[in-house]
Amino acid sequence: MNSNDTVPVLELKDVKVYHRSRTGSLFRPNIVKAVDGVNFTVRRGETVGIVGESGCGKSTLASVLVGLQEPTAGQMLFHGKPVKSRKDAARKQFGRDVSVVFQDPSTALNSRMTIQDILLDPLQIHGIGNEQSRLARVRELLSVVGLPQSAAEVIPSQVSGGQRQRVAIARALALEPSVIVADEPTSALDVSVRAQVLNLLSDLKRELNLGMVFISHDIQTVRYVSDRICVMYFGKIVEEGTATQIFDHPANDYTKKLLGAAPSLLHT
């Protein structure tokens, strides 16, 4: 870890995301506290897992972390500085530095573009290099995620689900981010390829000194990849610790319940 790694790439301070629910009346709306006062950090070189049941606010938190959702209250810091509105100049750097891998690569990738064009897209949008260097970067990205060079020529539906998620990971890496937010990245995949994709993410984190936010409803999967685990319940982080602390000495009743209900690794 060098000195830059001591400042979190992303930090949330008492972040809240509240929605008006469809129930309730105009005068007395019901408020859904999707994220309710979350403090969170992620640094380069660490994987922070966020685990909790469906509806606890994981995806909302992910969308705040990648800049898709403005918090109702609280603050997000990027390399120690507040991230302001979408028009803020720092947002461009933010867009390069924080990338996302979604649950389902079938919907996350443009089905009509070749894999080469999918990987060229972020490089072109950010005006990186020339045509030749961009094509070289595509070849490098394919190799980094363990895909054959021939994959460049085909469209996403012509490769397997696991390979499609590798394409999504390659796209997330294209701009050399500091942090990747992976929201249920293995849940839509066949059980037989989940461990391969998890191992790829862990290897990339180590080799590229990435920060990783790994979000899943499955505590065993989170344990497999995470250095630190945050347990989420009804919009709040109710417990945080290393995998050993959480698994061997859970302090919170909800964590204990999650552990009690945890199915065997990677098989949900």
Ligand X SMILES: Nc1ncnc2c1ncn2[C@@H]1O[C@H](COP(=O)(O)OP(=O)(O)OP(=O)(O)O)[C@@H](O)[C@H]1O
Residues that bind ligand X (CB under 6 A): 19, 21, 32, 34, 52, 54-60, 217
Q: Which tokens is 126 given?
A: 């950010």
Shortest distance, CB of residue 69 to ligand X, whole angstroms? 9
Shortest distance, CB of residue 104 to ligand X, whole angstroms? 12
Residue with smaller CB distance to ligand X, 3 or 23: 23
Residue with smaller CB distance to ligand X, 29 or 129: 29
Residue with smaller CB distance to ligand X, 63 or 163: 63
Shortest distance, CB of residue 20 to ligand X, whole angstroms? 7
**For the stretch 187-199, what's the b/e string if a residue is b when 16 or more beta carbons lie within 10 angstroms of its beta carbon?**
ebbeeebbeebbe
Q: 224, 247 in Cβ contact below 8 A?
A: no
Shortest distance, CB of residue 88 to ligand X, whole angstroms? 23
3-class state of residue 123 by DSSP: helix
Element containing residue 180 per DSSP (H, E): strand 179-183
Q: 11, 79 in Cβ contact below 8 A?
A: no
∠ CA 56-106-113, nearest 5°, is 135
3-class state of residue 56 by DSSP: coil
Shortest distance, CB of residue 216 to ligand X, whole angstroms? 9
Residue with smaller CB distance to ligand X, 55 or 148: 55
Q: Which tokens is 162 given?
A: 């696991």
Angle of helix 115-125 relative to helix 161-173, nearest 10 degrees?
20
Angstrom distance (rounded) from CA 195 to CA 218? 13
Q: 142, 117 in Cβ contact below 8 A?
A: no
Residue with smaller CB distance to ligand X, 86 or 206: 86
Shortest distance, CB of residue 183 to ligand X, whole angstroms? 8
Residue with smaller CB distance to ligand X, 17 or 118: 17
Residue with smaller CB distance to ligand X, 123 or 232: 232
Instruction: End-to-end CA distance of the chain: give it in Å, rounded.
Output: 35
Shortest distance, CB of residue 260 to ligand X, whole angstroms? 19
Kindly report the backbone phi and psi dihedral angles of residue 235, in degrees, each rounded to the nearest multiple of 5, phi listed first.
Answer: 85, -5
